[in-house]
Structure 1
Amino acid sequence: MYKLKIVSVFLFLVINTFSQTPIFVEDFNDSNVNSISTPTGFSSAISNGTLQIIGNGNGGLWSSISYNVNNGIDLSESPKLFIRAKSSPSVEMRVDLRDDTGYLTNQNPISARLSGEFVTYEFDFTDKLFDGAFGGPCKLGPCAVDATNIKTISIYANPGIGKYNGTIELDWISFGYVESSDQQETTNFQIRYNQVGYLIGRAKTISITSPVNFLPLTYSIKNKSGVTVKTGQTPNPNFWGDAQEYASIIDFSEIETAGEYTIEVNDKKQTFTIGNDVYDDLSLAALKYFYYNRASTAITAQYGGIWARTSGLPDTQVRVHSSAASTARPTGTIISAPKGWFDAGDYNKYIVNSGISTYTLLAAFEHYTSYYASKNLNIPESGNNLPDILDEIIWNLDWMLAMQDPNDGGVYHKLTGLNFAGRIMPNRYTATRYVVRKSTSAALNFAAVTAMASRIFKQYEVQKPGYSTALQEAAKEAYAWAKANPTNYFTNPTGVRTGEYGDRNVTDEFQWAATELFITTKEAQFKNDININNINNGVPSWHSVGGLALFSMNHHSAQLSADINVTIAQSKVLEKANEIRAKVNTSPMEIGMANSDYVWGSNSVAANQMMYLIRAYEISKEETYLKAAYKTMDYLLGRNGTGFSFVSGFGDKTPIRPHHRISDADGIAAPIPGMLAGGPQPGQQDKCTTYPSNAAARSFSDTWCSYSTNEVTINWNAPLAYVTNALRFYQNSGVALSVSENNSFQDQIQLYPNPVSNLLHINLTNQDVQEISIYSIAGKQVFKTKAIERNITLDFSDLQTGVYIVKIKKQDKIITKKVIKN
């Protein structure tokens, strides 16, 4: 007999509600189980209420185990499957649904990596019910799979690889929905919050998480004086599959006074901050990280404080590796390639990872030029008539230029030793350094970045004479080399064991490079190479850079509209941003991270998601994108499954043992501040034994050993720097600065003149306003009144020059407006 009950599924989608009953549940607890078919290489058995699938190592690449639903199941209401499973050893398990005509959901495959502990997986087939005509009855795909009559679940162990030798155990399968376990009282819960602080005028939420489905908990929030400003009970929790926990959200967005607060939930307390400037130091440190990671220079106490260090790795005597040898530069030729940023926790330098990292900082400057014009990073170049962010970028650009072979325009893939260094400081590194192989991906990353940099530095010809021209010519030469060598994919040559950054699909790199070159040069040869339909809109990473091309197209849409269909570029950005925003709105934790987002460097996924949301806001001016971006920042700063604020030095619980050689070997207890740790992911490739959980959202270890979750890299810090500064820019500008704004209410409130020197007039146009208060940009209240008339005049003459926030309250509606005092 089949019994309704909670189920796990193979995919990565989190269950958001318990209000609906599963359509069907198989719990393998009696003999009346639907038929199970196994191919050669597999057998099955039901034992102790679980289905055991045993592989003997002889299974084929696409051998599938079939769970057959005799009468068919209608999943049209909720095309989801939940499976609670484990395996020994770990295996990738793919799940497809087959309808009564034999059509299979193989066009958009869904998989999960099983571990040795039972975990509930969700496979969401929404918008994935298509057969791609890869064999079977569908001859010309895509063929729609009939969700009203699902007959079979097909399970694959190591899809495309086969030969699984081990055991998979399924505890149960649930169709459509997952059922809640009984709620219970508990003291086993955690308070997850933004440890850096919450911004005035933005959404403010705290998550309560627990391994059990808990009954509502009583909470109160008090200000620093002990005055209670909010009380209530936690809403019923939802199951958060990625963490294997239950989560409930406390929303306190209505608290808008800057200061320190304490939330008390039962007998647990946590202090947090609200203000307008909570991201100021973080936004600086995220950028300053790049200075600390400079190669070929000393970090002095004047600029580095306690993290000062002597110079190391000058890279002025670098050998050409045999894999990079040419007639003009034979094996062993000595070249000079100083400067650059150390890539990650090691002392190597890679063009591919420098590509996305340098682009992201260049984009930050290009998108918010006026903001960065005065942002002082306290680096040696500060005060030299160039914005500090450009000075930092130059340090890496100069190294990148030295990595181009002047004889043919090709670009060496990396500059490294033959092996990774030990846990030493840079000045103790004595191994021979090499430039290793040229590659198509390196040339294209180089071409895209130098082309973009060329147009930016064109505005600084006085400060950097000839630099823009040199960058543009280097970009053209690298692009020409890549077109002549379109499949020179990088793999480590024999004897080289440092990072590979190999990529065998460079379609996105070609599109990105052509886009940047066309924007900069306006030359038809580059326009002709752009195919907007071939540009993917994935969240950016070093091996997926299509999104970077889309960002640049949209930023320069007015210039490009006559030559490129920028409408498609806009729709692609908005499509991805809509997907991310939907996850934020539906996640049990109200975050953008779910399922397959928990990869190596998952925190960079979260940061780049925010970049997507911000760019979508710039395209559409739809404030919900910006709201989702601010809320997503909570995830990186503590409102997550680990309880860590993932940025070193920022928060109450931050990484103190990152996989970063300088921070490990410098003898200083605190790591360099502003570094974004890689983040949780279930792979645990480093084999450390310190992980608290195998659940994707909690699989994080603050140890040197855990290079798969606790390493730092330039391409993870770059989007952190971008988004923290962009969000700070919007906050200081008063953009979309209301969390409960009513559009008609907003439109009927008029403030003038703005900027104001003396008298500010507020026209309330028949609005029943209860309160008006004014705050400095630092969050200090400078005025408040409840004596409201239809028109009010306020005297600003005694206030200091700067930005002020006017907060106007009407019943349950609040709007805020920015006013500039001259």
Structure 2
Amino acid sequence: MQNTKSQKYISLVTLSLILTACSGGGDGNSTPPPANSSSLSSMPASTSSSIASTAAQSDLIKLNQIGYKPGAEKLAVVPAVSATTFTVSKTSDNSVVLTGNLSAAQTWEPANESVKLADFSSITTAGDYKLTVDGIEKPANFTIAANAYDALNAGAIKAFYYNRASTPLLESHAGVYKRAAGHADTKVYIHKSAASAARPEGTVVSAPKGWYDAGDYNLYIVNSGISTYSLLAAYEGYENYFKNQNLNIPESADDVPDLLNEAMWNLEWMLAMQDPNDGGVYHKLTSKSFSGFVMPDADTSDRFLVQKATPAALDFAAVMAAASRIYAPYESTYPGVSSKMLKAAKSAYQWAKANPAIYYTQPSDIATGAYGDKDATDEFAWAAAELYITTKDDSYYADLNPSAVTANVPAWGDVKSLAWISLAHHLDSLTKVADKTLIKNRLNNLATDIVAKKMASAYGVPLVNGDFNWGSNSGALNQAIMLLAAYEVDNTKTDYLKTAQSLLDYVLGRNPTDFSYVTGFGVRTPQNVHHRPSVADGIAGSIPGFLAGGPNPGQQDKKDCSVPYASSLPAKSYLDHSCSYASNEIAINWNAPLVYVSAALQVLTP
């Protein structure tokens, strides 16, 4: 059975095929193939997608290929032809439902394209439609549906299941993507960089479970931090939405929402990464070098816990503090876990305060992702905020020192704004010391700046040249998260919601490459992501539900690719080939904001 889901709009029917039996590192942490690996050069590229003419894509109308909620802002990008109007018709009978005016032509610098915008937000009736413009050969099809993002959200969460370590994926849960267990990680060695008197070099420990970080088979605490938090924050924001999901994972029959069941798989691994002797947290669990493009069970190299570091301890403390309060209502399923998490969080926080500037340094014999970070002030702020919210202990709020903490778009190496998200979620239950006006203003000021970028953009998205880098798609969605957090504390600011919608639209097809960057979801999706199971499983196409990193003009993988990028322009510098770890890898910290944003827009949009 070949994977053909990406050749058509995915529907809830198709989702059932994904979820049932019928069915590197992120942000600058490269996962290149080993030098002696020939598996990539022999892989057939999807020629039509990886080296398609940029001119051909410039002739297309670009819009969200998944669809829209009825009350959403709905925009399409149209090439700057001479036409001044557009038409929307029902696909069923070609009856015209809207004739509208196109905006004036403007050039979007990241793609060097002159384009116009079509605004068809006034169409609110569910159905299938097509948008046509004189002078453009192909119409653009779109759907309006009340459940527009249910399948996308479920697929984005299910991708974490597909990236589980230490377990087989059974056909009953994974369908055609079933595989044998790999990386039991019950026999992991303490690396010399992590050695201590209580755990000298070579000590054997057990640290199973967790998610493979990206296209590689290693696990990293700092990237697990923002990834796991983003899932937990989505749950805190939209709890009722997730309570009704059934993702067909092994834990689906219990009384815990599946999103929390999936997050627990990684949280249990994170708990095992703490040294019980002093509270410090190891930076990563890894082999000494990246494996070839093999299935997990074929990678039998030794695995190591590598160096304790301050940012890792604080990321761990923040996530465990948040998880402690979120899992507290599920004591019957996870007995004692909530209190264990809070104790672990406090212990890691105290270790970090005693060791405030221990930063990860890549050992000479380790060649996997570094995730190096030489500034822990943002991690201190985030950890203090989460401990404050969970414990209501005002001393943690004092540690946060909120007047000194700014707000920006979060990334794995800069997590201070995660504190503002959590504080906003708990605004009504904070103690008296909290400055609620400051919290709102931090979010509002950032959101206002992001909206201003959208209003100045020919593509109607708040993305400029500097936003295109490693994992640019996750950067776009993290902007959306900040907008949504600001909208929730002031829902009169509808421009925040509209701009978040445009960022999801961008990821789902309203972009110069005409890709919906989520595998299996859309008309034109990545077929050859840099992801070892997707390459080695022998199934055509990519495992569904993963967000590709997106355009990256750095092209750090150019020397490793046998086919060229179609363009060096920032918004077009994307290559759908498994060699492209700089633009076409997947990563847990890229999928996590997709989960958050798709859920939020599904809940908040009429």
TM-score after normalising by structure 2: 0.87
Equivalent residue for 1:793? none
Aligned mates of 2:101, 2:599 — CA distance in 1 = 35
Q: How does 1:270-419 map to 2 (within 5 A)?
A: 270-419=140-289
From 76, 86, 89, the equivalent of 1:222 is 89
Q: How does 1:769-808 map to 2 (within 5 A)?
A: none
Equivalent residue for 2:113? 245
Structure 1 residue 315, shift from structure 2 partner: 0.4
Structure 1 residue 531, shift from structure 2 partner: 0.7
Structure 1 residue 233, shift from structure 2 partner: 5.9
Corresponding residue SS for 2:139: strand
Equivalent residue for 2:22? none
Aligned mates of 2:269, 2:502 — CA distance in 1 = 37
Aligned mates of 2:499, 2:532 — CA distance in 1 = 35
Q: How does 1:135-284 map to 2 (within 5 A)?
A: 189-209=59-79, 214-216=81-83, 219-224=86-91, 225-231=93-99, 234-265=102-133, 266=135, 267-284=137-154
Instruction: Read off the aligned partner of 1:293 and give its amino acid letter.
Output: N
Of Structure 1 and Structure 2, which has the larger fraction of its residues in helix? 2
Corresponding residue SS for 1:248: strand
Aligned mates of 1:202, 1:458 — CA distance in 2 = 35
Aligned mates of 2:95, 2:63 — CA distance in 1 = 21
Structure 1 residue 643, shift from structure 2 partner: 0.7
Instruction: Read off the aligned partner of 1:221 and give its amino acid letter.
Output: V
Q: How does 1:452-601 map to 2 (within 5 A)?
A: 452-601=322-471
Equivalent residue for 1:421? 291
From 721, 725, 735, the equivalent of 2:595 is 721
Does the 8 A contact of 2:566 with 2:574 survive in 1? yes
Does the 8 A contact of 1:216 with 1:235 survive in 2? no
Aligned mates of 2:406, 2:412 — CA distance in 1 = 14
Does the 8 A contact of 2:69 with 2:602 survive in 1? no
Corresponding residue SS for 1:528: helix
| Higher-RCO chain (CA-CA 8 Å, sequence separation at least 6) | 2
**Deviations 1:285-334 (Å, cap 9, x if unpaired)?**
01111111100001111111111111111000000000001111111110
Equivalent residue for 2:586? 712
Instruction: Read off the aligned partner of 1:527 and give its amino acid letter.
Output: Y
Corresponding residue SS for 2:71: coil
Does the 8 A contact of 1:295 with 1:339 survive in 2? yes
Does the 8 A contact of 1:345 with 1:713 survive in 2? yes
Does the 8 A contact of 1:584 with 1:632 survive in 2? no
Q: Over alpha carbons, which structure has the higher Rg? A: 1
Instruction: Read off the aligned partner of 2:366 and give its amino acid letter.
Output: V
Instruction: Read off the aligned partner of 1:656 and give its amino acid letter.
Output: Q
Structure 1 residue 565, shift from structure 2 partner: 1.8
Stretches of structure 1 lacking an aligned partner (at least 5 in a row): 1-185, 732-736, 738-822
Aligned mates of 1:402, 1:276 — CA distance in 2 = 42
Q: How does 1:3-14 map to 2 (within 5 A)?
A: none
Aligned mates of 2:594, 2:101 — CA distance in 1 = 34
Stretches of structure 2 lacking an aligned partner (at least 5 in a row): 1-55
Aligned mates of 1:276, 1:194 — CA distance in 2 = 15
Change (3 A) 1:454 1:232: closer
Aligned mates of 2:400, 2:298 — CA distance in 1 = 47
Structure 1 residue 231, shift from structure 2 partner: 3.6
Aligned mates of 1:188, 1:359 — CA distance in 2 = 38
Residue 441, structure 1, aligned to residue 311, structure 2: yes
Corresponding residue SS for 2:263: helix
Structure 1 residue 628, shift from structure 2 partner: 1.9
Aligned mates of 1:611, 1:311 — CA distance in 2 = 34
Deviates more, 1:370-379 or 1:494-503: 370-379
Aligned mates of 1:254, 1:558 — CA distance in 2 = 35
Instruction: Read off the aligned partner of 2:104 and give its amino acid letter.
Output: N
Does the 8 A contact of 2:218 with 2:287 survive in 1? yes
Instruction: Read off the aligned partner of 2:424 and give its amino acid letter.
Output: N
Corresponding residue SS for 2:556: coil
Corresponding residue SS for 1:697: helix
Does the 8 A contact of 2:57 with 2:513 survive in 1? no
Structure 1 residue 222, shift from structure 2 partner: 2.0
Does the 8 A contact of 1:413 with 1:439 survive in 2? yes
Corresponding residue SS for 1:208: strand
Corresponding residue SS for 1:271: strand
Does the 8 A contact of 2:238 with 2:599 survive in 1? no
Corresponding residue SS for 1:192: coil
Does the 8 A contact of 1:216 with 1:233 survive in 2? no
Q: How does 1:627-638 map to 2 (within 5 A)?
A: 627-638=498-509
Instruction: Read off the aligned partner of 1:671 and give its amino acid letter.
Output: S
Aligned mates of 1:537, 1:233 — CA distance in 2 = 37
From 513, 527, 531, the equivalent of 1:656 is 527
Corresponding residue SS for 1:239: strand
Does the 8 A contact of 2:557 with 2:580 survive in 1? yes
**Deviations 1:223-247 (Å, cap 9, x if unpaired)?**
1212222345643310111111111
Does the 8 A contact of 2:190 with 2:203 survive in 1? yes
Does the 8 A contact of 2:227 with 2:592 survive in 1? yes
Structure 1 residue 698, shift from structure 2 partner: 0.8
Structure 1 residue 595, shift from structure 2 partner: 2.4
Structure 1 residue 727, shift from structure 2 partner: 1.2
Instruction: Read off the aligned partner of 1:514 and give its amino acid letter.
Output: A
Equivalent residue for 2:497? 626
Corresponding residue SS for 1:260: strand
Aligned mates of 1:628, 1:232 — CA distance in 2 = 21
Instruction: Read off the aligned partner of 1:716 and give its amino acid letter.
Output: W
Corresponding residue SS for 1:198: coil
Aligned mates of 1:681, 1:261 — CA distance in 2 = 33
Does the 8 A contact of 1:508 with 1:536 survive in 2? no
Equivalent residue for 2:510? 639
Instruction: Read off the aligned partner of 1:405 and give its amino acid letter.
Output: D
Aligned mates of 1:712, 1:261 — CA distance in 2 = 31
Instruction: Read off the aligned partner of 1:247 and give its amino acid letter.
Output: V
Does the 8 A contact of 2:90 with 2:129 survive in 1? yes
Corresponding residue SS for 1:263: strand
Q: How does 1:753-772 map to 2 (within 5 A)?
A: none
Does the 8 A contact of 2:62 with 2:140 survive in 1? no
Corresponding residue SS for 2:458: coil
Instruction: Read off the aligned partner of 1:445 and give its amino acid letter.
Output: D
Instruction: Read off the aligned partner of 1:578 and give its amino acid letter.
Output: T
Structure 1 residue 462, shift from structure 2 partner: 2.1
Aligned mates of 1:524, 1:250 — CA distance in 2 = 51
Structure 1 residue 250, shift from structure 2 partner: 1.1
Aligned mates of 1:522, 1:262 — CA distance in 2 = 53
Structure 1 residue 533, shift from structure 2 partner: 2.3
Instruction: Read off the aligned partner of 2:509 and give its amino acid letter.
Output: G
Structure 1 residue 368, shift from structure 2 partner: 1.5
Does the 8 A contact of 1:540 with 1:548 survive in 2? yes
Does the 8 A contact of 2:328 with 2:338 survive in 1? yes
**Deviations 1:256-288 (Å, cap 9, x if unpaired)?**
222222223323223222222221210110111
Aligned residues: 544
**Deviations 1:69-97 (Å, cap 9, x if unpaired)?**
xxxxxxxxxxxxxxxxxxxxxxxxxxxxx
Instruction: Read off the aligned partner of 1:662 and give its amino acid letter.
Output: P
Instruction: Read off the aligned partner of 1:704 and give its amino acid letter.
Output: S
Equivalent residue for 1:693? 567
Instruction: Read off the aligned partner of 2:456 and give its amino acid letter.
Output: T
Aligned mates of 2:342, 2:382 — CA distance in 1 = 15
Does the 8 A contact of 1:298 with 1:312 survive in 2? yes
Of Structure 1 and Structure 2, which has the larger fraction of its residues in strand? 1
